[in-house]
Amino acid sequence: MRLSRHIIPYLFLTPALVLLIVFNLAPTIATLVESAFVLSLRSGERVFAGFANYNRIFNDPVFWKSLQVTIVFSLLVNPIQILLALCLSILINQKLPGIGLFRSIYLLPIAVSLNVTAIVWGLMLDQNSGMINGILTQWGIARQPFLHSVDQALWSIIVIASWIGVPLWSLFILAGLQNIPPSVLEAAKIDGANAWQSFTKITLPLLRRVLAFVLVADTVANFLMFAPILLLTNGGPQLSTNLIMYETYRRGFLYGDLGASSAMLSVMLVIVFIIIGVELYVLRGQD
């Protein structure tokens, strides 16, 4: 009986670990390997192609355009979401009557899926009879094309993504705010710091770890933005919302070119690894 003590943890680990290795770890490695093959979904043939897939995507203007759109999207959506999430977390951290009710309401978007959000906001932003245009015309502003315009479609996707993203990330920052000992802020007040000073000199530095985590997690999540594109724009108009995750789906599953799709996913995986590497580096420096 005593001998089995050494086996027991491994027995407990086996089911979950086997599943993780087979369905998560192996595909991660395979994503990198698979990009060196050309595979046809229809014939099932799989031929070694070396860097041919990479050559193909790197010479493809649609891929570069997609990468460019993704970078622009990231540079806009992440700062916007984190800044608003920081503001929201400060608001719902106030000790005021009824704050619990507000916190509950702000949980609603987090429970709702991105698909539902995209469908509802897609209709809200409808260019002919959507509610947003209904409100705008009441204020004397002309109807806007939103998702049908090269200039506004990406911004519309940013709004849709932020409706979930802002309350979601504010929860993390709120948890960080609540971890700050009140005595520290009291001490600053006694020393004569005003609210702004104690925010920038004490609160923000103490939030650095949480903010670093949120920045990375938000960047990765938005890097993979997919459902609103599939449901609302199909990457258009004129590829202006053709985010990289949608491009891999289009290539792989609509055109059946899994080789090119895998090569793009490998590029994305490398980018994600770099982002995570930076996170680990930043967080290590804090301890």
Partner 1 sequence: MSQLATDNASTQDRVIVKKNVKPVTSYLWPALVYVLLILGVIIVVVPLMWAFAASFTPNHKVFEYAYPFSWRALFPVNFTMEAYDNLFERGFGRAVGNTFFLAIATVIIGGAANALAGFAFGRFEFRGKQFLFLAAIMLTFMVPVDLTAIPRYILVNNFGWINTWQGLLVPGLANSLVIFLFRQFFAEIPQELIDAARVDGASWLRVLVSIILPISKPVLVAAGLLMFISQWNSFFWPLLIAPRQEMRVVQVEISLAIGQYGTVWNELLAGSMIAAIVPILLVMPFQRYYVQAITGTGLE
Positions 128 through 167 that interact with partner 1 (CB under 8 A):
128-131, 133-135, 137-138, 163, 167
Decide: 174 and 93 in contact? Cβ < 8 Å: yes
Positions 228 through 247 that interact with partner 1 (CB under 8 A):
230-231, 245
Instruction: State the residue for tokens 């109807």.
Output: 143
Nearest-angstrom CA–CA distance, 240 and 244: 11
Size of the site for partner 1 (CB under 8 A): 92
Shortest Å distance, C-beta 234 to partner 1: 10
The reply on whether position 177 binds partner 1 by CB under 8 A is: no
Binding to partner 1 by CB under 8 A, coded x per residue (else -) over 26-65, reads xxx-xx--x----x--------------------------
| Contact with partner 1 (CB under 8 A) among 66, 86, 122, 147 | 122
Nearest-angstrom CA–CA distance, 243 and 250: 11
Decide: 163 and 80 in contact? Cβ < 8 Å: no
Q: Tell me which residue of 267, 155, 149, 280 sits closest to 212, measured CA to CA.
A: 280
Nearest-angstrom CA–CA distance, 100 and 182: 19
Shortest Å distance, C-beta 172 to partner 1: 5
Nearest-angstrom CA–CA distance, 266 and 109: 31
The reply on whether position 269 binds partner 1 by CB under 8 A is: yes
Q: Which element (helix H / strand E) includes 39?
A: strand 37-39
Burial 115-132 (b: 16+ CB within 10 A, else e): eebbbebbebbbeeebeb
| Contact with partner 1 (CB under 8 A) among 52, 80, 109, 239 | 109
| Contact with partner 1 (CB under 8 A) among 71, 83, 123, 150 | 123
Instruction: State the residue for tokens 């507000």.
Output: 102
Positions 183 through 222 that interact with partner 1 (CB under 8 A):
209-210, 213-214, 217, 220-221
| Contact with partner 1 (CB under 8 A) among 63, 73, 146, 172 | 172
Q: Which of 69, 122 has the CB closer to partner 1?
A: 122
The reply on whether position 105 binds partner 1 by CB under 8 A is: yes
Using CB under 8 A, which of the segments 67-75, 96-104, 146-154, 186-194 binds partner 1? Answer: 96-104
Q: Tell me which residue of 85, 102, 120, 54 sits closest to 221, measured CA to CA.
A: 85
Q: Tell me which residue of 15, 94, 37 sits closest to 261, measured CA to CA.
A: 37
Question: What token pair was written down for 171?
Answer: 């929860």
Q: Which of 102, 155 has the CB closer to partner 1?
A: 102
Q: Which element (helix H / strand E) includes 286?
A: helix 258-286
Shortest Å distance, C-beta 226 to partner 1: 6
Q: Which of 191, 287 has the CB closer to partner 1?
A: 287
| Contact with partner 1 (CB under 8 A) among 80, 276, 278, 282 | 276
Nearest-angstrom CA–CA distance, 115 and 122: 10
The reply on whether position 15 binds partner 1 by CB under 8 A is: yes
Shortest Å distance, C-beta 201 to partner 1: 19
Shortest Å distance, C-beta 58 to partner 1: 19
